[in-house]
Structure 1
């Protein structure tokens, strides 16, 4: 076991974990948009934290813990950094339709840090709505890459990928097809992991409560979280790292 201190609280946790993993195991939240369990991603940089003895902030998602490490996640330095980053991300972030904003973690963090959108933007009328169940709004995408990992590495579908580079980087389906014309298997994994609602169910609505249960379809027994509204199931998703399905649908 490794002994560390996060925000003044002593924690004993398994060796080989990252700061973000250790914080999660102690029910401490570090803001993150791009983190994907068991994958190195680290594109959003929202999870930067302060480590005693290090003059620079470090990404908690990729920095491994060491014995005696003292970490500050909510001190002035990382909070100011996150505020600047969130302000920049919100500059170009589009608007959500109806209740769908509730599924956007970026909006949630921006609200927590007191950041307003640079301007009220109209809902993107050019969003890709060609798929029968999923829509994609590129104006909401922050290029975190979670959908690429979910589709290719986790599900093995190889439909979603990045095109171009630098400021011109964008998400594409089957090398620039519309989503509804692509080889998408409609598994929903990309929707499940998208932190901004850029990929979302067409008919998504918020739930009054959620219930964790088990899928009865076969003998595997996948763990599923169901959103319930007016005593009806309105959405279903896996829970990251839990059950025999480890969060997959």
Structure 2
């Protein structure tokens, strides 16, 4: 993601070094986000194409994501210890410290999909349910992309849209699971392979949940309100209010 300094600039600090540290923290977060976003895309592509090589690359790339998580965690600690940020800056650092956990979890879910892709590729013919997988995968991938964009832009309105999308993903997930249960009842020989697809769908649904979590943290950064476990109408009112 190509970012300019002004994307993040809300106000200047007396210490130019503090500005630099905050910018580096945000940029490192987006680098990690880009890696995770690519993991999701590649894991689904590996599944659809029966490509074990791409799936293995996803699994190996998870180590890089884990290293970035540790780097960002340390940067957050150092900023708090050295700069003692307040108000909006403190919300930023605290939120990033939490958001990297969601990014790491998204990477873990992508790694699960890659592992299943390898197993299914070895078995040969793809099972039923790939249409549902592709549809939900496209949906959650877009959510992750939008979550990174709304962080880069500090866009609370976009964050609300992502939260709304999570409800749609949940509905699609439930519908897909019902269809797969029907497939298994029609052909008991397919149970094992369809169960694998169900695990893929579950991983995708969890990715959508983590994208929603990212959006909630963006709202906290911008509005100073913790909207976790809050009804959607109250979230919308929070973001719409001055």
Which of the five TM-score ranges fits, normalised by the shorter chain? under 0.3
Which structure shows the higher helix fraction? 2
Structure showing the higher strand proportion among its residues: 1
Bigger relative contact order, structure 1 or 2, given CA contacts below 8 A and separation 6+?
A: 2
TM-score (norm: length of structure 1):
0.26
